[in-house]
Chains A and B, each alone.
Chain A
Amino acid sequence: MKQILSKVFQSMDTAVFERLDEHSYQLMTQPPPWLGQFCEKESVVDESIQLTGMFAFLDCFLEEAEEFWESKIDATHRSGSWIDFTPSGEEIPFEAVALWQDGKALLVLQDLGDEYYNEVVRLQKYRDGALTQEALEQEIENQTKEIRIREEEIAMKLLSAAGHRDHETAEHVRRIGLYAEVMAQALNWDDASTADIRIAAPMHDIGKIGIPDRVLLKPGKLTEEEFEEMKQHSAIGADMLSGTNIPLLKMASEIAMFHHEKWDGTGYPSGLSGKEIPASARITMIVDVYDALVHKRVYKEASSEDSALHVMQQMVGEYFDPDLYEVFLENLPKMREIKDTYAEPASI
């Protein structure tokens, strides 16, 4: 039986060693042709042999194998393949296997030969395919980004044109989008919806374009009738942005329509309450109030952040979704950074 096994191992270019001690092994099979190229002894059968220092990879694996043999589990522990070179420069792919069998610590060293090169061909094909797929995905991502940038630029230009009438600045528009994006990220929205709200939230007041100047630009307090007229901006904006299947514009329409709805149901135009109000609109309301409070307007000075937060705290439960306001507070440092980065021009 031993002879048969020895012949099988020989045909597999395999050497089987029994561990004698940490440094010495005894070869139990006929030496395969490659062994003589790495080993100084011409004949190693039945003599103890030192494997340490023969292969750098094996030195590392033998430390692992020692731990495996110590466990005395009747099993195998494979090294994984490695490439070594004979002194003449011939490349040989090896694998080592540590075994514990019949109370003996055994080490099998095998020249993997074609098995290894077939695996290389298989992995090469797989990775070539994976590279092509990765490049295509990257191309799609780049194109999508490009489209997003253009969408955002067009939206900002339109908003800036609309904002000229009521003195909204480009910075305000930009900030509202960025604050809303921070909220969406904190709420773990998917990437597409997060990118959508960055562009959609700034469009919340786009309907003001349809409000007459005598109401929109009136310096004093609005009469009840004028206020009713002003309230129309929600529906006008929603209408302007509706009738499309583009998710971004659908969200923008939703925000335009519902950003004056209040958490307690006393808002307009529909008197929705709580979570009946779309999350995008609830987010926009919070960040719009924050931005309005901490910035100077033609009709008021800028509030300090403490004072703004004090005012906003009073609005929780009446105007704001309490949970979303918590998220807003948790992300206040990011909001502050956006406020400072996109500050109003000095002349405002």
Chain B
Amino acid sequence: MVQKKICLLGAFAVGKTSLVMRYVNSIFGEKYHTTVGVKIDKKKLVSNGQEITLMIWDLAGQDDLTRLRTSYLRGVAGYVIVADGTRPFSLNTAINMHKEAREYTGDVPFIVAINKADLRKEQWQVEAEQIKALEDSGATIILTSAKTGDGVEETFQLLTHNILESESENKPLDDIENS
């Protein structure tokens, strides 16, 4: 079976681990548990008619004490940049981490997940202009909620689909003719 490595990047406490927990185990916990180092989970899915195993690398969130270790991105097929819709600062961190990741990974597919969308009515701080600016720069943005599950499946499915599409576009002509 084909395995694809994807990474979740973002500031601390934006809900990266919660998104993975929701997607892989369909569970959610309210309490914040910080991630130290890397946790890797697996999830099987079908995309473009193909069975895929996603190796999901949940990287510790970035703060003043923890920076992105770009070598963790080695062999990555795509990544999810996670920001917290209730914390505008996390969106800036996400954009900066994306730029840093891009330098290492090159042009691999990515999705921007703006998490905690269940708090859109009460505590949402991300302005429509910020989202539009991101979309204008070519980013695909999905509003997610690890709590309710909204947008979570869609994020990983779309990223996997984009990875497969991008790989088939980059496939050498001989491979296509022989397939």
Chain A proximity mask over B68-79: 1 for CB below 8 Å, otherwise 0: 010110110000
Name the residue of chain A whose CB is nearest to the CB of B73: A60
Judged by a CB distance under 8 angstroms, whether B34 is at the interface is yes
Q: Is the CB of B12 within 8 A of A127?
A: yes
Judged by a CB distance under 8 angstroms, whether A80 is at the interface is yes
Q: Is the CB of A120 within 8 A of B71?
A: no
Judged by a CB distance under 8 angstroms, whether B167 is at the interface is no
Question: In the complex, which residues of chain A have a beta carbon less than 8 angstroms from the beta carbon of B5?
Answer: 56, 60
B88: shortest Cβ distance to chain A, in Å?
7
Name the residue of chain B whose CB is nearest to the CB of A141: B88
Question: In the complex, which residues of chain B have a beta carbon less than 8 angstroms from the beta carbon of A120?
Answer: 34, 36
Q: How many A-B residue pairs have CB under 8 A?
A: 64
Bound-complex Cα distance A83 to B13 (A)? 18
Q: How many B residues have CB within 8 A of the partner chain?
A: 26
Q: Is the CB of A82 within 8 A of B40?
A: yes
Among listed A130-138, A241-249, A279-287, interface-contacting one: A130-138
Chain A proximity mask over B1-29: 1 for CB below 8 Å, otherwise 0: 00001000000110000000000000000
Bound-complex Cα distance A125 to B5 (A)? 31
Q: Is the CB of B12 within 8 A of A116?
A: no
Question: In the complex, which residues of chain B have a beta carbon less than 8 angstroms from the beta carbon of A57?
Answer: 38, 40
Judged by a CB distance under 8 angstroms, whether B37 is at the interface is yes
Q: Is the CB of B125 within 8 A of A124?
A: no
Bound-complex Cα distance A80 to B73 (A)? 13
Question: In the complex, which residues of chain A have a beta carbon less than 8 angstroms from the beta carbon of B104?
Answer: none
- A positions within 8 Å CB-CB of B: 56-57, 60, 63-64, 80-84, 93, 95, 116, 119-120, 123-124, 126-128, 130-131, 134, 138
- 4 A-B pairs besides A80-B69, A95-B37 with CB distance below 8 A are A64-B74, A81-B38, A119-B36, A138-B125
Q: Could you name 9 residue pairs across A and B whose Cβ atoms are closer than 8 Å?
A: A56-B5, A57-B40, A60-B74, A83-B39, A127-B34, A131-B13, A134-B87, A138-B88, A138-B125
